[in-house]
Structure 1
């Protein structure tokens, strides 16, 4: 009798957590486990801004799949289409070759991509921070702007290169602006011809408040802390047009700049559009047990799935956070095992444990289990949370060593150059154009 083939798409929190638990709960003779992902590592996304700022090395938050998963077969490539009728998944390899993989049970944990709006110039000129390569590229780009500003004789060009704009006042945008502002301020002191006072940082968001998810009081504290550092924050404002040398805002201003970082939300992986299934705000609708209605044997979790939030009554869906993705991975593993063994599936239920936003420079805002903290105590909580959430002891050790070294020795502000010559556009970095459309 052939083994039941369990196919997981996505090496993020949900997918890897699911396979990690399936390896422990299913015997080798019960099922064949397979993972499809373009990368052979699990990325700890919440710490990407610290990679972009140089606080952490890229390897410290990229956890080897082979270290966590011992008997799962890794399939390098992108899942570009699902045919629930024939139970086949289309996978495109890096070479461009395509093949179909049969599955008995499929878990879609494909995560999300940066949400792009129909704004002229965003796809061509904006930078992102959703992948490890983007974070590394962004650091190189920012340092290269300081290098170029230090040697130019043109005051207008110098002002363009020393002005940095971040769009998006959520966790990613706020932490990215905070981390990179500290990077540029420290780096500028090493350039004899640059004055740190000439640096200009802007954080732009369409919402009326900064960090609305963390609450009004803590959001206001974060706002005040960033403004005290000199970051200009423009709320209820968006981007009208972006060119290679300027951004036009909806409030009528035009800011000359060579750097705009786009973090204005996420969209579910385009893979979900290849299924004939219901979507809610672009995410696959699931039952409370995380199965996809009308698609036998298919489950969906994480950023790609609209899982009912039973802790809030079930009228809303769980937000696309690492906390929910990780716990949904464990819960769906139990349900997949139950499917194989013919036992009842259990609905997903998790009460949010709180939120943390690390703004660097010994300052953060956090709300663990409903307790509001700010300043250094909040940063202790934030970094403690990240250390606990990292999936392996090796990753925790690397991050802790990086933090310690940076605190004691500082940064050398070097540009690695390994991304030089590669197209930096958001669609190219995140491979948005490679999914099957029909």
Structure 2
């Protein structure tokens, strides 16, 4: 059944996903269809399990304590004032029937009567992607991802907790395991997370007298022969040299073979124990797409036209990581799954959807990739923009400036700027709130009324 009561004559636009594409498309529609939405001629519903959008390029800084985690997310209910937000998980899409099946927040997905069908006149599929994992023994039990703000907070607490363990134990094996950190994947997420957290841990060592910087072992494992391919071979090589200059081991052309019980086994034959394993080796389209009748390619992406409609379904639009969008710039056959394309595709998608409802022609998406920027810790970075290659402080400044300009809402821009300004005068916090992962542990202990053994 329908979730919201729309005027009988209103065109209902349903946006599945509240990430980059979902939120920025809804923002564009609020601007383009302001009069229609005010008059009740168009209704927009955004469906997402969370009530916020995470600006992922700022996750490494949030994990390192440079930014307050709440400041790297945009609250959808505040940002999308003219849209309806439905918190729930989409479990199916039927293009043939024109409905989206949703399991609302708090409902039981196994109970069919709890599921709701949301009809649409126009649909935007913006489910994005999830981490692409491999069947590596021990990875599911030991690995930590790095795609959500929850994972960033957990990883920060985890790293600081490892320092607590090392500072509180005399056993050299326990200390060595606690102070060994392995990151798998040499893309933006892996490189920036490793660089920021290593920078934070190195700075925090002064407050852990038994722990020296030299006691920590930080390692990046990458299957390819280079890292950060988006910034080009030259800057990628410079990044490797910069990381190695900080004492970070960078293993190229190397695979993780096993991680059972924290025992890391690499394809080059090296084996050692590690207390931290972070997996950032790529992404894949959201698996829910397999439960739809939409046309998918061999990678599970929705087949899109240059106008960002779904092939054979002009009433359905798609963009971002879950879409196979033709690249009209001539750089490649299809656009790369990155934030730069997602934000710009959302703008085109919103314009095309508004034009569609008004009976106007659609425009194809065409955008040449202008380059990339990456932060490598405080005052360190690498950039390749319009062929201009920068490194160190200038690249770090460009990284912050660019992403601040892309951060949604003036409110969040101001809060992020304030965090950075305060960081100029005060040191980073090094408090580990590890109990956040198990907030009921203390209360469960208090309610344990079992008799004590005599």
Indicate whether the TM-score tops 0.5. yes
Cα deviation for residue 395 of structure 1 reads 1.0
Question: Secondary structure in 2 aligned to 1:56?
Answer: coil
1:278 to 296, 321, 324: 296
Alignment partner of 1:17 out of 10, 21, 24:
24
Q: For 1:381, which of 378, 398, 401 is the aligned residue?
A: 398
Residue equivalent to 2:201? 184
- The aligned residue for residue 92 of structure 2 is 81
Question: Structure 2 CA distance, aligned partners of 1:418 and 1:112?
Answer: 29
- 1:84-99, aligned counterparts within 5 Å? 84-95=95-106, 96=108, 97-99=114-116
Q: Is 197-206 or 216-225 further displaced after alignment?
A: 216-225
Q: Which runs of 4+ in 1 moved over 6 A?
A: none
Task: Count how many residue pairs are aligned between Structure 1 and Structure 2.
Answer: 421
Which residue, out of 70, 82, 107, partners 2:81? 70
Map residues 97-176 of structure 1 onto 2, 5 A cutoff. Answer: 97-176=114-193
Residue 280 of structure 1 and its aligned partner are, at CA, apart by 4.5
Q: Residue in 2 aligned with 1:427? A: none
More off after superposition, 273-282 vs 206-215: 273-282
| Cα pair distance change 1:121/1:295, threshold 3 Å | farther
Q: Contact 1:244 / 1:258 at 8 angstroms: preserved in 2?
A: no
Q: 1:205 aligns with which of 219, 222, 229?
A: 222
User: 1:256: how far off?
Assistant: 0.7
Preserved CA contact (<8 Å) 1:308 1:318: yes
How far the C-alpha of 1:301 sits from its partner, in A, is 0.6
Deviation readout 1:386-412 (Å, 9 max, x if unpaired) = 111111111111111112222321112
The 5-angstrom pairing of residues 414-433 of structure 1 reads 414-421=431-438
- Does the CA-based 8 Å contact 2:64-2:196 persist in structure 1? yes
Residues 367-376 or 107-116, more deviating: 367-376
Q: Deviations over 1:347-377 (max 9, x none)?
A: 1111222200110231111112221111111
CA distance in 1: counterparts of 2:170 and 2:202, whole angstroms: 21
1:82/1:88 contact within 8 Å kept: yes
Q: CA deviation at 1:421?
A: 2.8
Unaligned runs of 5+ in 1: 423-438
CA RMSD of aligned residues (A): 1.4
When the two structures are superposed, what TM-score results if normalisation uses the length of structure 1? Answer: 0.93
Q: Deviations over 1:93-129 (max 9, x none)?
A: 2322421111111101111111111211212210011
Give the distance between the partners of 1:157 and 1:245, measured in 2 at CA.
12
> How many Å separate the matches in 2 of 1:319 and 1:132?
23
How far is 1:80 from its partner? 1.9
The one-character-per-residue Cα deviations of 1:260-309 (angstroms, maximum 9, x if unpaired) are 00000011111222223122422111111111113352111111111111
TM-score by length of 2: 0.90
SS of equivalent residue, structure 1 residue 312: coil
Query: 1:204, 1:238 within 8 Å by CA — same for their partners in 2?
Result: yes
CA distance in 2 between partners of 1:337 and 1:394 (Å) = 27
Name the CA shift for 1:180/1:289 in 2 (closer, same or farther; >3 Å).
Answer: same
CA distance in 1, matches of 2:208, 2:15: 49
